[in-house]
Protein backbone atom coordinates (compact mmCIF):
# COMPACT_ATOMS: atom_id res chain seq x y z
CA UNK A 1 0.00 0.00 0.00
CA UNK A 2 1.29 3.46 -0.86
CA UNK A 3 -0.67 6.49 0.31
CA UNK A 4 0.27 10.17 0.41
CA UNK A 5 3.83 9.61 -0.81
CA UNK A 6 4.24 10.78 -4.37
CA UNK A 7 4.83 8.22 -7.08
CA UNK A 8 7.89 9.24 -9.05
CA UNK A 9 9.24 8.43 -12.47
CA UNK A 10 12.32 6.23 -12.68
CA UNK A 11 14.93 9.00 -13.01
CA UNK A 12 17.88 7.92 -10.88
CA UNK A 13 21.12 9.24 -12.32
CA UNK A 14 23.71 7.05 -10.59
CA UNK A 15 24.38 3.36 -11.21
CA UNK A 16 22.56 1.27 -8.68
CA UNK A 17 19.17 -0.31 -8.15
CA UNK A 18 17.49 1.13 -11.24
CA UNK A 19 20.17 -0.51 -13.38
CA UNK A 20 19.58 -3.80 -11.60
CA UNK A 21 15.91 -4.35 -12.26
CA UNK A 22 14.30 -1.97 -9.78
CA UNK A 23 11.79 0.82 -10.46
CA UNK A 24 11.55 3.82 -8.14
CA UNK A 25 8.00 4.11 -6.77
CA UNK A 26 8.23 6.51 -3.82
CA UNK A 27 10.75 8.75 -2.11
CA UNK A 28 11.46 11.71 0.09
CA UNK A 29 14.32 13.90 -1.16
CA UNK A 30 13.84 16.32 1.76
CA UNK A 31 13.50 19.41 -0.39
CA UNK A 32 12.33 22.49 1.46
CA UNK A 33 13.47 25.56 3.32
CA UNK A 34 15.97 25.44 6.15
CA UNK A 35 14.24 24.88 9.48
CA UNK A 36 11.07 23.37 8.05
CA UNK A 37 9.80 20.17 9.69
CA UNK A 38 9.85 16.91 7.72
CA UNK A 39 6.79 16.56 5.48
CA UNK A 40 3.89 15.63 7.81
CA UNK A 41 2.10 13.85 4.96
CA UNK A 42 5.02 11.38 4.90
CA UNK A 43 6.48 11.31 8.41
CA UNK A 44 4.77 10.88 11.78
CA UNK A 45 6.57 11.59 15.06
CA UNK A 46 6.79 9.09 17.90
CA UNK A 47 6.76 11.34 20.96
CA UNK A 48 7.85 10.16 24.40
CA UNK A 49 10.68 9.33 26.73
CA UNK A 50 9.92 6.07 28.50
CA UNK A 51 12.96 4.24 27.12
CA UNK A 52 11.18 2.59 24.16
CA UNK A 53 11.80 -0.84 25.66
CA UNK A 54 15.59 -0.44 25.29
CA UNK A 55 16.48 1.82 28.24
CA UNK A 56 16.98 4.76 25.88
CA UNK A 57 17.65 8.03 27.67
CA UNK A 58 16.23 10.61 25.27
CA UNK A 59 12.80 12.21 25.07
CA UNK A 60 11.75 12.09 21.41
CA UNK A 61 9.92 15.27 20.43
CA UNK A 62 8.11 16.68 17.41
CA UNK A 63 10.08 19.95 17.62
CA UNK A 64 12.13 21.32 14.73
CA UNK A 65 15.01 21.62 17.17
CA UNK A 66 15.26 17.83 16.93
CA UNK A 67 14.19 17.15 13.32
CA UNK A 68 14.19 19.63 10.46
CA UNK A 69 15.28 20.21 6.87
CA UNK A 70 18.61 21.93 6.27
CA UNK A 71 17.58 23.77 3.09
CA UNK A 72 20.04 21.73 1.00
CA UNK A 73 17.89 18.68 0.37
CA UNK A 74 18.62 16.88 3.62
CA UNK A 75 16.84 15.94 6.83
CA UNK A 76 18.73 16.44 10.09
CA UNK A 77 17.80 14.46 13.20
CA UNK A 78 19.49 16.11 16.16
CA UNK A 79 20.16 14.76 19.66
CA UNK A 80 20.66 17.42 22.32
CA UNK A 81 21.82 17.29 25.93
CA UNK A 82 19.06 19.21 27.71
CA UNK A 83 16.58 18.67 30.52
CA UNK A 84 13.20 17.98 28.93
CA UNK A 85 10.12 16.26 30.38
CA UNK A 86 12.25 14.55 32.98
CA UNK A 87 14.87 13.27 30.52
CA UNK A 88 18.45 14.50 30.15
CA UNK A 89 18.45 14.36 26.34
CA UNK A 90 16.12 15.04 23.43
CA UNK A 91 16.03 13.62 19.91
CA UNK A 92 13.49 12.55 17.27
CA UNK A 93 11.95 9.33 16.02
CA UNK A 94 10.14 9.52 12.66
CA UNK A 95 7.98 6.84 11.06
CA UNK A 96 5.74 6.29 8.03
CA UNK A 97 3.07 4.37 9.93
CA UNK A 98 -0.22 5.14 8.21
CA UNK A 99 1.41 7.07 5.35
CA UNK A 100 3.56 4.45 3.64
CA UNK A 101 3.25 0.73 4.38
CA UNK A 102 4.51 -1.78 1.86
CA UNK A 103 5.28 -5.47 1.32
CA UNK A 104 8.51 -6.41 -0.50
CA UNK A 105 10.84 -4.22 -2.53
CA UNK A 106 14.05 -2.29 -2.03
CA UNK A 107 14.14 0.21 0.82
CA UNK A 108 17.14 2.55 1.10
CA UNK A 109 18.37 5.65 2.89
CA UNK A 110 21.48 7.69 2.14
CA UNK A 111 22.83 8.94 5.44
CA UNK A 112 25.77 10.31 7.38
CA UNK A 113 25.99 8.92 10.91
CA UNK A 114 27.13 10.68 14.09
CA UNK A 115 30.27 9.89 16.08
CA UNK A 116 30.38 9.65 19.85
CA UNK A 117 29.89 7.24 22.71
CA UNK A 118 26.25 6.73 23.62
CA UNK A 119 24.72 7.45 20.19
CA UNK A 120 22.54 4.85 18.47
CA UNK A 121 21.29 5.86 15.00
CA UNK A 122 19.01 3.53 13.04
CA UNK A 123 17.03 3.11 9.83
CA UNK A 124 14.54 0.28 10.31
CA UNK A 125 11.11 -1.16 9.56
CA UNK A 126 8.24 -2.49 11.65
CA UNK A 127 5.26 -4.64 10.69
CA UNK A 128 2.20 -2.47 10.11
CA UNK A 129 0.11 -4.79 12.30
CA UNK A 130 2.12 -3.93 15.42
CA UNK A 131 -0.88 -2.33 17.15
CA UNK A 132 -2.87 -5.55 16.67
CA UNK A 133 -0.30 -8.29 17.33
CA UNK A 134 2.45 -6.45 19.22
CA UNK A 135 6.21 -6.80 18.98
CA UNK A 136 7.98 -9.06 18.01
CA UNK A 137 5.05 -10.84 16.36
CA UNK A 138 4.76 -7.95 13.88
CA UNK A 139 8.38 -8.42 12.74
CA UNK A 140 11.24 -5.92 12.58
CA UNK A 141 13.86 -5.34 9.89
CA UNK A 142 16.83 -3.27 11.03
CA UNK A 143 18.21 -2.01 7.72
CA UNK A 144 21.01 -0.22 9.55
CA UNK A 145 21.92 0.26 13.19
CA UNK A 146 25.17 1.72 14.44
CA UNK A 147 26.82 2.91 17.63
CA UNK A 148 28.71 6.18 17.67
CA UNK A 149 31.69 4.64 19.44
CA UNK A 150 32.31 2.34 16.43
CA UNK A 151 32.29 4.64 13.38
CA UNK A 152 33.51 1.93 11.01
CA UNK A 153 30.75 -0.61 11.66
CA UNK A 154 27.03 -1.00 11.01
CA UNK A 155 24.59 -3.82 11.73
CA UNK A 156 21.66 -5.42 9.89
CA UNK A 157 19.22 -7.62 11.80
CA UNK A 158 15.73 -9.14 11.67
CA UNK A 159 13.53 -9.82 14.67
CA UNK A 160 10.43 -11.97 15.07
CA UNK A 161 8.78 -14.42 17.45
CA UNK A 162 11.54 -16.61 18.91
CA UNK A 163 14.39 -14.49 17.54
CA UNK A 164 14.00 -11.02 19.00
CA UNK A 165 16.20 -8.69 21.00
CA UNK A 166 19.61 -10.24 21.58
CA UNK A 167 18.48 -13.32 19.65
CA UNK A 168 17.84 -11.39 16.44
CA UNK A 169 19.30 -12.83 13.24
CA UNK A 170 21.84 -10.73 11.36
CA UNK A 171 25.43 -9.61 11.04
CA UNK A 172 27.72 -6.60 11.21
CA UNK A 173 29.62 -4.96 8.35
CA UNK A 174 32.99 -3.24 8.86
CA UNK A 175 34.64 -2.41 5.53
CA UNK A 176 38.33 -1.61 5.76
CA UNK A 177 39.06 2.13 5.72
CA UNK A 178 35.42 3.28 5.84
CA UNK A 179 34.15 5.73 8.44
CA UNK A 180 30.37 6.05 8.32
CA UNK A 181 30.53 9.36 10.22
CA UNK A 182 32.55 11.22 7.55
CA UNK A 183 30.36 11.17 4.46
CA UNK A 184 27.13 9.88 3.00
CA UNK A 185 26.53 6.14 2.67
CA UNK A 186 23.57 4.20 1.27
CA UNK A 187 21.98 1.54 3.46
CA UNK A 188 19.43 -0.78 1.87
CA UNK A 189 17.52 -4.03 2.04
CA UNK A 190 16.11 -5.94 -0.90
CA UNK A 191 13.17 -7.93 0.43
CA UNK A 192 11.24 -10.69 -1.32
CA UNK A 193 8.98 -13.49 0.00
CA UNK A 194 11.85 -15.76 1.11
CA UNK A 195 14.92 -13.50 1.51
CA UNK A 196 16.04 -10.17 2.94
CA UNK A 197 19.37 -9.04 1.49
CA UNK A 198 21.36 -6.29 3.25
CA UNK A 199 23.54 -3.85 1.30
CA UNK A 200 25.82 -0.91 2.11
CA UNK A 201 26.94 1.31 -0.78
CA UNK A 202 25.74 -1.46 -3.14
CA UNK A 203 27.92 -4.07 -1.43
CA UNK A 204 25.78 -7.08 -0.48
CA UNK A 205 27.15 -8.29 2.84
CA UNK A 206 24.48 -10.71 4.11
CA UNK A 207 21.13 -12.36 3.36
CA UNK A 208 18.65 -13.65 5.93
CA UNK A 209 16.35 -16.30 4.45
CA UNK A 210 13.41 -18.49 5.41
CA UNK A 211 14.84 -21.37 7.43
CA UNK A 212 17.54 -19.26 9.06
CA UNK A 213 15.27 -17.95 11.82
CA UNK A 214 14.28 -19.89 14.93
CA UNK A 215 10.58 -19.17 14.64
CA UNK A 216 7.93 -18.16 12.10
CA UNK A 217 8.88 -16.04 9.08
CA UNK A 218 6.77 -12.92 9.64
CA UNK A 219 8.06 -10.88 6.69
CA UNK A 220 5.12 -11.35 4.34
CA UNK A 221 2.95 -8.31 5.03
CA UNK A 222 3.15 -4.51 5.03
CA UNK A 223 5.92 -2.75 6.97
CA UNK A 224 6.51 0.94 7.66
CA UNK A 225 9.82 2.83 7.93
CA UNK A 226 11.48 4.36 11.02
CA UNK A 227 14.38 6.83 11.28
CA UNK A 228 15.73 7.74 14.69
CA UNK A 229 18.74 8.75 16.76
CA UNK A 230 18.60 7.12 20.18
CA UNK A 231 20.74 8.11 23.15
CA UNK A 232 22.14 5.47 25.48
CA UNK A 233 20.12 2.28 25.69
CA UNK A 234 21.09 -1.37 25.52
CA UNK A 235 23.17 -0.84 22.38
CA UNK A 236 24.25 2.79 22.61
CA UNK A 237 25.84 2.63 26.05
CA UNK A 238 26.61 5.44 28.48
CA UNK A 239 26.67 8.80 26.66
CA UNK A 240 29.79 10.93 26.46
CA UNK A 241 28.86 14.60 27.07
CA UNK A 242 31.34 15.59 24.35
CA UNK A 243 29.18 13.80 21.74
CA UNK A 244 26.44 16.46 21.88
CA UNK A 245 24.90 17.99 19.93
CA UNK A 246 24.83 15.01 17.55
CA UNK A 247 23.25 14.74 14.12
CA UNK A 248 22.08 12.11 11.68
CA UNK A 249 21.93 13.65 8.21
CA UNK A 250 19.63 11.96 5.68
CA UNK A 251 20.00 12.81 2.00
CA UNK A 252 17.09 10.69 0.79
CA UNK A 253 14.80 7.77 1.51
CA UNK A 254 13.69 5.74 -1.54
CA UNK A 255 11.50 2.74 -2.18
CA UNK A 256 11.68 0.58 -5.30
CA UNK A 257 9.75 -2.34 -6.70
CA UNK A 258 10.98 -4.94 -9.12
CA UNK A 259 10.52 -4.13 -12.80
CA UNK A 260 9.70 -7.81 -13.30
CA UNK A 261 8.24 -9.55 -10.24
CA UNK A 262 9.93 -12.69 -8.99
CA UNK A 263 8.17 -15.95 -9.74
CA UNK A 264 7.10 -16.36 -6.13
CA UNK A 265 5.56 -12.86 -6.15
CA UNK A 266 3.15 -13.93 -8.90
CA UNK A 267 2.48 -17.45 -7.73
CA UNK A 268 4.26 -18.90 -10.77
Catalytic residue list? 140, 145
3-state helix, strand, coil in the chain (%, to 5): 10, 45, 50
Quote the radius of gyration of the chain (alpha carbons, Å): 18
Q: Which residue from 254, 149, 160 is spatially nearest to 199, judged by alpha carbons?
A: 254
CB 244 within 8 A of CB 57: no
* C-alpha triplet 142, 146, 148: angle, nearest 5°: 160
Residues 236 and 189: their CA atoms lie apart, in Å, by 23
| Contacting residues for 262 by C-beta, under 8 A, at least 6 apart | 192, 193
Nearest to 64 by CA among 56, 48, 75: 75
Q: Is 263 helix (H, G, I), strand (E, B) or coil?
A: helix
Distance from C-alpha of 104 to C-alpha of 155, rounded to nearest angstrom: 20
Q: Is 220 exposed, middle or buried (0-12, 13-18, 19+ CB in 10 A)?
A: middle
Distance CA 228, CA 94 (A): 6
Amino acid sequence: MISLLSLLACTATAPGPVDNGWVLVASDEFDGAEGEPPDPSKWVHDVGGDGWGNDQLEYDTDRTENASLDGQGRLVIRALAEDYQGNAYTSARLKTQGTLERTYGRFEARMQLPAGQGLWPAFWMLGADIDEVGWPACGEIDVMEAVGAEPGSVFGTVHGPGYSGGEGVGDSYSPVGVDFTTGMHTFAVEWDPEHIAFLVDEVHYQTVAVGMVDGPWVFDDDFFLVLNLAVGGTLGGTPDPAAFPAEVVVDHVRIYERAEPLAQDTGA
